[in-house]
C-alpha cells in the first residue's frame, strides 16, 4: 500500500508493507483521514507516537470500509463502513483499527466527513462531559471556536442544552460558527457574556488567566490548545475564590482501553446526533492523499472553518 510517510521532516506518499489485522482488529481500506495539529508536530519531530505505532506514519483518525478482520472479531464484518481514533498511521491506503475503537459510520454520512469526525468529537466529548461534567443550563465558553474541536464543542454544548458562547478571532467566520448553535463574539467581548461554568480553551497562553476571571463559582477550564502560548500566570487566590479547576488531557497518549471507553461513549451519545444531522463535521477543504504536504500547509495557515481532510 501507499501511506503518508515522514522522512527528515518532509512528507512523502510512499510504498509501505500492508498492515495485518491482529486478533480483534479490522483491516480498513481508508477513504478519508483528518489532519490534526499532532500530525504537524510529529512532522516537526516534536510529538512522538505511543509505543507500537510506526514513528514515521502520521494520522490519528480515518474512515473507510472493512476489507478483512482478525479471528476474534465480533462487532464488524468485511464491507462495513467504519471510522476510528488511532495512535498513528491513519493516513494510508490501509489501516488497522482495533474493533473496540472502531465505530460504524451512520448511513447518509459521507466517508470524507467521517474521516474528520473522530479526533475532534472525541476530544470535545471527553473535555465537555468526562472532564468537565457539562450539564443542561450551564454557560459554556468555547475559546477559539472555529477549528474542528471548537465547532464540535459548540455543537455538543448546544445539543446538551447549554448556553454556548464562542470566541472567534476572525470576524469573517463568526457568523458561520454562530450557525452551529453559539453566540459568536470577538475574544475581547467574552467577559460580558459570562460567567461561565465550563471553558474549553483552544487558544491557551494568557487567555487561560482571562478564563479564570470570567469563571462562575465551581467552574471548570480544560486546556486543549496552546497556539497563543504555552504558559500563563495563575492567580491562586482567584482559583480559590472561584472554587475552580484547570485541567488538560491529551487523547493520543492514552492506552487502548481508555480510547475504547471514549469511543463507546461517542458511539452511544454522539453518533445518534450525527446520524440525524444534529451535529455535523464541517470540512474546510479536502486534499488527495498524495497532496498531504499541501494539506498540512493549509492546516498550518490557520483561519479555517472546521477540518482539513485527506480523501480519495
**Sequence-ordered list of residues with C-beta below 8 angstroms from that of 126, at least 6 positions apart, any chain:** 249, 251, 262, 265
Q: What is the C-alpha separation between 288 and 4, in angstroms, rounded?
A: 11
Comparison of 63 and 246: residue with beta carbon closer to a second copy:
246
Comparison of 11 and 132: residue with beta carbon closer to a second copy:
132
The least CB distance from residue 199 to a second copy, in Å, is: 13
Q: What is the C-alpha separation between 92 and 293, in angstroms, rounded?
A: 14
Comparison of 244 and 270: residue with beta carbon closer to a second copy:
244
The least CB distance from residue 263 to a second copy, in Å, is: 18
Comparison of 234 and 288: residue with beta carbon closer to a second copy:
234
Is residue 235 within 8 A of residue 209, CB to CB? The reply is: yes
> For residue 99, what are the CA distances in angstroms to 75, 110, 124, 253?
7, 21, 22, 19
The least CB distance from residue 226 to a second copy, in Å, is: 5
Residues near a second copy (CB under 8 A) are 204-205, 208, 217, 223, 226, 229-237, 239-250, 253
Q: What is the C-alpha separation between 238 and 224, in angstroms, rounded?
A: 21
Q: List 188's β-bridge partners, or say none.
A: none
The least CB distance from residue 253 to a second copy, in Å, is: 7
Is residue 254 within 8 A of residue 227, CB to CB? The reply is: no
The least CB distance from residue 247 to a second copy, in Å, is: 4
| Contacts of 255-260 spanning 24+ positions with Cβ under 8 A | 256/98, 256/100, 256/101, 259/85, 259/101, 260/98, 260/100, 260/101
Is residue 95 within 8 A of residue 121, CB to CB? The reply is: no
Q: What is the C-alpha separation between 307 and 298, in angstroms, rounded?
A: 10
Comparison of 20 and 241: residue with beta carbon closer to a second copy:
241
Comparison of 15 and 233: residue with beta carbon closer to a second copy:
233
Cell 482559583 sits on residue: 239
> For residue 45, what are the CA distances in angstroms to 41, 74, 288?
6, 37, 24
The least CB distance from residue 244 to a second copy, in Å, is: 7
Comparison of 6 and 38: residue with beta carbon closer to a second copy:
38
- The SS3 of residue 55 is coil
Whats the size of the chain, residue-wise?
Answer: 312
Comparison of 62 and 141: residue with beta carbon closer to a second copy:
141
Query: Do the strands 183-185 and 163-167 form a parallel or antiparallel pair, or are they unpaired?
Result: parallel
Half-sphere exposure of 146 (CA within 13 A, CB side): 20
The least CB distance from residue 104 to a second copy, in Å, is: 29
Comparison of 23 and 231: residue with beta carbon closer to a second copy:
231
The least CB distance from residue 195 to a second copy, in Å, is: 15
The least CB distance from residue 207 to a second copy, in Å, is: 10
Amino acid at each position: 500500500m501507499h501511506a503518508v510517510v515522514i522522512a527528515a521532516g518532509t512528507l512523502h506518499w510512499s510504498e509501505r508493507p500492508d498492515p495485518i489485522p491482529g486478533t480483534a482488529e479490522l483491516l480498513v481500506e481508508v477513504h478519508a483521514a483528518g489532519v490534526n495539529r499532532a500530525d504537524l508536530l510529529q512532522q516537526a519531530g516534536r510529538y512522538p507516537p505511543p509505543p507500537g505505532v510506526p514513528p514515521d506514519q502520521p494520522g490519528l483518525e480515518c474512515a473507510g470500509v472493512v476489507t478483512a478482520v482478525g479471528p476474534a472479531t465480533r462487532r464488524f464484518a468485511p464491507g462495513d463502513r467504519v471510522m476510528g481514533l488511532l495512535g498513528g498511521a491513519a493516513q494510508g491506503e490501509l489501516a488497522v483499527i482495533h474493533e473496540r475503537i472502531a465505530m460504524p459510520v451512520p448511513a447518509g454520512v459521507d466517508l470524507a466527513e467521517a474521516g474528520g469526525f473522530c479526533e475532534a468529537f472525541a476530544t470535545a466529548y471527553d473535555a465537555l462531559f468526562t472532564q468537565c461534567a457539562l450539564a443542561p443550563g450551564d454557560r459554556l465558553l468555547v475559546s477559539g471556536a472555529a477549528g474542528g474541536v471548537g465547532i464540535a464543542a459548540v455543537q455538543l454544548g448546544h445539543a446538551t442544552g447549554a448556553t454556548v458562547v464562542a470566541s472567534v478571532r476572525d470576524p469573517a467566520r463568526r457568523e458561520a460558527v454562530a450557525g452551529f448553535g453559539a453566540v459568536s463574539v470577538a475574544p475581547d467581548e467574552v467577559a460580558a457574556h459570562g460567567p461561565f461554568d465550563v471553558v474549553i480553551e483552544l487558544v491557551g497562553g494568557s487567555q487561560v488567566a482571562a478564563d479564570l476571571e470570567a469563571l462562575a463559582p465551581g467552574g471548570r477550564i480544560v486546556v486543549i490548545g496552546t497556539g497563543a502560548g504555552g504558559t500563563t500566570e495563575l492567580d491562586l487566590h482567584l482559583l480559590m475564590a472561584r472554587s475552580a479547576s484547570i485541567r488538560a488531557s491529551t487523547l493520543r497518549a492514552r492506552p487502548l482501553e481508555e480510547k475504547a471507553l471514549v469511543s463507546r461513549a461517542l458511539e452511544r451519545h454522539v453518533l445518534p446526533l450525527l446520524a440525524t444531522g444534529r451535529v455535523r463535521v464541517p470540512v474546510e477543504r479536502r486534499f488527495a492523499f498524495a497532496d498531504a504536504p499541501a494539506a498540512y500547509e493549509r492546516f498550518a495557515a490557520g483561519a479555517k472553518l472546521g477540518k482539513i481532510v485527506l480523501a480519495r
